[in-house]
Every structure is written in C-alpha cells, then in structure tokens.
A and B are shown apart, each in its own frame.
Chain A
C-alpha cells in the first residue's frame, strides 16, 4: 500500500531563513511525487511535480528514490510563503493521489 509521511505539523521560521519541508513515501512501484500548497482562503494548487524538475517561487524538490524522500526546499523564505503544504504521491494508471497530513509553514517578519 502507498503512504506519504510528513513528520512535522508546523514549521516556523524568520523571513530570509532556509526552509526544508520533509516528505517520505512508501510505494513499491514507480512513483510520481507532487507538492501542493494551500494559501489562506484559497484552493489547493499544485506547486511542484518531480518530473518537471522546475523551481517554482524559489522552491525546489528532488526525488531521492534510495531514501524514498521528496523534501521541499527554499533557501530564503518570504512572508508570502506562509501556507499549508501537502506532499502527494501519484500511483497506478489513474489520477489517484495519496496525500500526507500536511505541514503549516509560518514565516515571521
């Protein structure tokens, strides 16, 4: 069975500090990993997917199959990064996503 673990519920940092949001997954097949973000009063939206290997809003994430991890990183946090972040695992031939419990990122001025 597939599972996504986000070990922390809350990360609070000061503006300009580095950020790393942890995500580990469990899946025996070929995974596809995503990070979704939900800003206050907005809908859930895609931030990153591992196959695109892009940097979005300064965030990057690398899939480490050996450690089964897909940690989200940003070198210098901004106040507007404050939001709820979910790691998600795509498996199989359909669009099913398995989400972690999410982590609240709070960036203080």
Chain B
C-alpha cells in the first residue's frame, strides 16, 4: 500500500557523525512530523512541517534539523551524533497542519556506537 515510507530502515553511525533520514508522506498529505522513540518510551515530537514551513518544534537541541521539499517529502538531519541519539525515528504524515489523523511510517532504527 502507498503508506508513509521511511529510509533507511536501519542505520549504524559513530559518535560525532552526521545522519540524514528520509520520509515520503502519503500521496496528497502536505504535513510531515518527526518523532523520536527511545526504548521503553512513547514517541516524542521533534518537528512538524507543512507546505515546506516549520510549524512546530519539540524540545530538541539545534543538532536536529529538518526540511520539507516541494513534493512534501522530508529529511531529518542530526549532527554531531551522541550515544543518546540512538532511537527509532518515526515520520508521520497528515492531510493538513492542524489536528488531523497522523499516519506513521515504520521508522528508522538509528544506532550510535
């Protein structure tokens, strides 16, 4: 099915490196949100983008950045990786910017060693 797709599915990086995660929303969806889920916790909001503009930002350091492209796909970048950045990174897409249903991707499992 044409759900939210994320790539890569798994990734191993070394401390201090940089990583880029990618997300393609459901066709017709203009909003993409990113979440971090560490083991044993619920997903934590990182960013929301709508129509290529940032609409929300969670409590994450400036090492985390994102952007949305004209086709509504999105990238999440994390610089200067720390061991604590190891987590499952989830992307969610929704039709609009407001409180509409969010559809999640399978996630990217990032391991920092």
Binding site for B on A (CB under 8 A): 4, 32, 36, 43-46, 49, 86, 88, 90, 92-102
**B87 interfacial contact with A, CB 8 Å:** no
Question: Chain A residues near B41 (CB, 8 Å)?
Answer: 101-102
Please choose the segment from B10-18, B72-80, B97-105 that sits at the chain A interface, where 4 or more of its residues have CB less than 8 A away.
B97-105
Question: Chain B residues near A43 (CB, 8 Å)?
Answer: 3-4, 104-107
Question: Chain A residues near B103 (CB, 8 Å)?
Answer: 45-46
| A90-B99 in contact given A44-B90, A95-B31, A96-B48 (Cβ < 8 Å) | yes
Number of interface residues of B (CB under 8 A): 31
**B42 interfacial contact with A, CB 8 Å:** yes
Binding site for A on B (CB under 8 A): 3-4, 31, 33, 35, 40-45, 48, 50, 55-56, 58, 90, 92, 94, 96-107
Assembly CA distance A11 to B33 (angstroms): 30
Are the C-beta atoms of B98 and A99 separated by less than 8 Å? no
| A100-B42 in contact given A93-B97, A94-B97, A95-B98 (Cβ < 8 Å) | yes
Are the C-beta atoms of B102 and A46 separated by less than 8 Å? yes
| A95-B100 in contact given A86-B42, A101-B40 (Cβ < 8 Å) | yes
Are the C-beta atoms of B43 and A95 separated by less than 8 Å? no
Output the least CB separation between B14 and chain A (Å).
28
Assembly CA distance A36 to B42 (angstroms): 11
Are the C-beta atoms of A95 and B94 separated by less than 8 Å? yes
Assembly CA distance A95 to B31 (angstroms): 8
Output the least CB separation between A109 and chain B (Å).
27
Q: List 14 A-B contacts (CB under 8 A).
A: A4-B42, A44-B90, A45-B103, A93-B98, A95-B31, A95-B55, A95-B97, A95-B98, A95-B102, A99-B35, A99-B42, A99-B44, A101-B40, A102-B42
Question: Chain A residues near B101 (CB, 8 Å)?
Answer: 46, 49
Are the C-beta atoms of B107 and A97 separated by less than 8 Å? no
Output the least CB separation between A53 and chain B (Å).
15
Question: Chain B residues near A99 (CB, 8 Å)?
Answer: 35, 42-44
Are the C-beta atoms of A96 and B106 separated by less than 8 Å? no
